[in-house]
Every structure is written in C-alpha cells, then in structure tokens.
Structure 1
Amino acid sequence: MSLFEALVIVLAGLLAGTINTVVGSGTLITFPTLLFFGYAPVAANVSNTWGLVAAAITGAWGYRREIRETRHQIVQLLPMSIIGSIIGALLLLALPAAAFDAIVPVLIALALLLVVFGGRLNAWAQRHRVEAETGTKTGGAATGAVGGPALSRGRRLALLGGVFFGGIYGGYFGAAQGVLVMGVMNVLLPLSLQHLNAIKNILTPCANLVAAIVFFFVARDQINWAVAGLIALGAFGGGWVGARVGRSLSPQALRATIVVIGLVAIAKLVVFP
C-alpha cells in the first residue's frame, strides 16, 4: 500500500465518520474508495464495517446528553437492531449482491419521504390516538420532549419492526442505514430530531459492531486489517467532528442534510453504481 493510498483511505474514514454521526451513509464514501484502489467488494465491505465502528465512540460521546435523555428508548430498540444486524451480516455472506442491491435505492427514497413528512405524520397519528382515547379533538402536535406520550401497541410494533429491518440492512451493507432508521423513528417516535439522532448514533454503530464481529468469526480471511485500521483512524476523528456539527444544526437544517445525503446515495447507487 502506497502512502498516497493510505492517506486517501484515512481521509475517506474521516469524512465517513463525520457523515455517519450527522445522519448516516458514510459507507458511500469509504466503500467506493476501497473499490477504486482495487479491493474486492466483499472484502471492502467487511473491512469498512470494522473501520467505521471507531466513529461510534466519539460520536456517542458528543451526543452523550441526548443519549442519557433517551436511554429508555435505546434499551427497548437496541436488541432489535442487534438481532437484525446478525441476520444481515449472514445474508451478505450467503446471497449475491444483486439480490438486495436492487431494492436499496427504493428503501432510501422511502426513508427520505419519512424524514420530510415524518413530523406531520407523527403529529397526525398522535392526534388520532388522543381523539380515539378521549373522544375529543385536539389541535396540538406531537411533542418533541423526551418521555412524551406513550406509544400505542401498533406504533410500538411498527417501530420495533422498522428498527429490526434497519438492522438487517445495516448488517448487509449499511450505506444510508442511518437515513432509514431516522425516517422510521421520525414517523413513530414523538421526539426532536436531535434526540432521534442520538438514538440513531447508538443503534447503527452497534449494528455495525455486531456485524463486524460476525464477519470476524465467519469470514476472517476477508478482513484487511490495515485498511480497517486506516478507516478507523479517520473515523475516530470524524465522529467527534460530526457530533459538533450535528448538534449545532437546526431541525430544518438537519432534515435538509439528511435529504441531500440520501439523494446523493440514490444517485451513487443508481446512476453511478
């Protein structure tokens, strides 16, 4: 490996760690970079998964206040994300890439719609629930406070199912996993986008870590530790940068950032595969 290649991979890790902490989709930076330098797709994906775990440490620390405030939701959702990621990692090793790649752009587009309209859908669903329980109409919107109204059984099951599916996708590939998870939570959890981002910054890195552990035991020969280490070096700093940037964004700016990154992800997967 040349010095130039090593520096580019570290830079890609830095950018990916930043993007992952802000919203997700950092894999769309590192994965194509590794392919450009000639690494096989599966080996690149597996090594990249290990490398990006480092961003979780600094990213979670940057969001530590919001994580403390949402620990109840995290405890409920984390097992579904972990179980899903194990299944996704095994699917990566068992299925051809085309079997899953065809639907990825559709999933990302759906997630973007959920991010854009999720707040309105959440408010509508919350009003509908209150009216059904009380028989009265209310003009209030869903609260953004932590520990707000309890979720109905249907919404809770939908939330668990969405996070579980996000875990499967994250274990399989991971690009835009954060967009998918944020989209689902934005519709179903009456929390602010910053609190949802804090939950995402625990769920998606844990899914990556579990998938990386599966790869270690099942496909250890596919891991390039030098590449994983270089990505981790950049991603560690990127997580810190991403937390500072992400927490400073207004809800509108954060939503716009998610949409832009999601559209870039779709373009990368469809127009420039």
Structure 2
Amino acid sequence: MSIWEALAIFAAGIGAGTINTIVGSGTLFTFPVLLAVGLPPITANVSNTLGLVSGNISGAIGYRRELRGQRRRVLRFGVTALIGGLTGAVLLLALPSKAFDTIVPALIGLALVLVVLQPRLARALARRRERNGTTDTVTDGGPALLLGLLLASAYGGYFGAAQGVLYLSLMGLLLRDDLQRVNALKNVLAVVVNGVAALFFLFVADFDWTAVLLIAAGSTLGGQLGAKIGRRLPPTALRGVIVVVGVVAIVQMLLKK
C-alpha cells in the first residue's frame, strides 16, 4: 500500500466517522476506497466493519448527553441489535451479495419517505390514540419497533450502508422523542452491531490490518467531529442530511448492478 493509498483510506475514515455519527452510511465513504486500493470485496467489507467500531464508539461518546434517561431503551434495543447484527454477519459469509442488493435500495427509499413524513405521521398517530382513548405513549415503540430494529441490524451486520437511515426512520416514527436523542440512541446501536459483527469476523475472515488501523484512526476523529456538527443541526436540517445521504446510497447501490 502506497502512502497516497494510506492517506486516502485515513481521509475516508474521517468522513465515515463524521457521517456515521450524524446520520449513518459511513460505509459509502470507506468501502469504495478499499476496493479502489485493491482489496477483495469480502476482505474490504470485514476490514471496514472492524475499523469503524472505534468511530461508532467515539460518536456515541460525543452524544452521551442526549443518552441520559435512555438506559432502558439502550438495554432493550441493544439486545435486539446484538442478535440482528450477529445474524447479518453470518449471512455475509453464507449468502451471495445479490440476495440483499435487490431489496436494499427499495428499503432505503422507504426509510427516506418515513423520515420526511415522520412529523406528520407522528401527529396522526397521536390523534388516533386520542380518538381511541389511549393517550399514553408507548415509550419503547412496541413489538413493531423491535422487529424493525432486528431486521435493520441484520442488514447492518451484513453490509451497513445506510443502516443509520433505517434506524432513524424507525425510531423517529415509533418513538415520541427529540430527533437528537433518537440519533444518540442510533449511535449506540451502531456500536453494538458493528462490534458483534467484527468480533465474529475475527474468527472466520481475513482482514487487512493496515486498512483496519487507518479507518479506526480516521473514524475516531470523525466521530467527535460528527457529534459537534450533528448536535447543532435543527430537526429539519438533520432530516435533510438524512435524505441526501440516503439518496446517494440508493444511487451507488443501483450503479453497482
């Protein structure tokens, strides 16, 4: 690996750590760069997963203030993310990539629609509860959210691009809470999914350790940068960033076919 290739991977790691903390989809920065420097797809994927763990942790720490009062959610959703992430990691080595490539663009597109319509849908759900005489909010999102998070986490363990978009759309719709607090929770779930997938890959896959270390260093810096930027974004601007990143993810995946 040349010095310029190493710098490109490090820079991509910074970009990935930043965007992962704000929205998710940092893999869109790092994965193409790893392929461009000559890594095989599976090696690039698993090296990317392990390298981004430190960035996920950095972003979660950066958002620690917004995590206050969410311990029950972290534990409940964390277990779901753990199961889903491990399942996705197993599927990466067991299934052909086309099994997910076909449905993922449509999945991300649906998530973007939910993100855009989330305020209106949340108000509609609240009015429906009032009409039915159930004004109490389901603070944990109920079984529908757990199932959605399980599937999103399985996808995250498998590949991970736009995983954060899926998390934000699901929790933004089914949890009545501030979007920044939801984003903080998303960062913790990303730590769980990437962490368990990386741990699994350590025993069954080959890594490029130079790439892992470069991405880890870059994404750790990016995680802190992303926390500073993301916290200052108002909800409307944050939704706009989510939509832009999601559209880029869809276009990139469609062009791969």
1:192-214 Cα distance to aligned partner (Å, 9 max, x none): 11011000010012101110001
- Partner-residue secondary structure (3-state), 2:214: helix
The match for 2:152 among 148, 166, 170 is 166
Tell me, in whole angstroms, the C-alpha distance in 2 between the residues paired with 1:185 and 1:14. Answer: 26
Alpha-carbon deviation of 1:70?
2.2
| 1:225 aligned partner | 209
Q: Tell me, in whole angstroms, the C-alpha distance in 2 between the residues paired with 1:191 and 1:130.
A: 18
Structure 2: gaps spanning 5 or more residues: none
Aligned equivalents of 1:230, 1:157: Cα separation in 2: 39
Quote the offset at 1:152 in angstroms.
8.1
CA shift for structure 1 position 57: 2.4
% identical aligned pairs: 52
State how far apart, in whole Å, the 1-side matches of 2:123 and 2:72 are: 21
* 1:44 alignment partner, SS class: helix
Name the structure 1 match of 2:90: 90
- Structure 2: how far apart are the matches of 1:18 and 1:152? 29
Which of 219, 223, 226 is equivalent to 1:242? 226
Out of 150, 156, 177, the residue aligned to residue 191 of structure 1 is 177
SS at 1:20's partner residue?
helix
Does the alignment pair 1:13 with 2:10?
no
- Give the match for residue 180 of structure 1: 166
Summarize deviations over 1:90-119 as a string: whole Å, max 9, x none: 000000111111111111101101110122
Runs of 4+ in 1 over 4 A off after TM superposition: none
User: What is the number of equivalent residue pairs in this alignment?
Assistant: 257
Give 2:234's aligned amino acid: S
- How much has 1:41 moved relative to structure 2? 0.4
Q: TM-score, normalised by structure 2?
A: 0.96
For 2:218 and 2:194, how far apart are their aligned partners in 1? 16
* Contact 2:17 2:220 survives alignment (8 Å): yes
Q: Which residue of 2 aligns with 1:262?
A: 246
Residue number in structure 1 paired with 2:79 = 79
Q: Is the 8 A contact 2:57 2:188 kept in 1?
A: no
What TM-score do you get using the length of structure 1 for normalisation?
0.91
Give how far 1:72 is off. 2.3
Aligned position for 1:50: 50
Aligned twin of 1:142: none
2:138 to 151, 155, 160: 151
Q: Which amino acid aligns with 2:137?
A: A
Matched, 1:60 2:60: yes
Alignment of 1:34-49 (within 5 A): 34-49=34-49
> How far apart, CA to CA, are the structure 2 residues paired with 1:272 and 1:259?
20
Aligned residue for 2:133, secondary structure, equals helix
1:48-94 Cα deviation digits (max 9, x unpaired)? 00000011222112111111232222222111111000000000000
Paired AA for residue 248 in structure 2: V
**Which stretches in structure 1 are left out of the alignment for 5+ residues?**
139-148
- Higher Cα radius of gyration: 1
CA deviation map 1:131-190 (0-9, x unaligned):
2126xxx9xxxxxxxxxx43189x500000011111100000000000001111111000
C-alpha separation between the residues in 1 aligned to 2:184 and 2:130?
Answer: 27
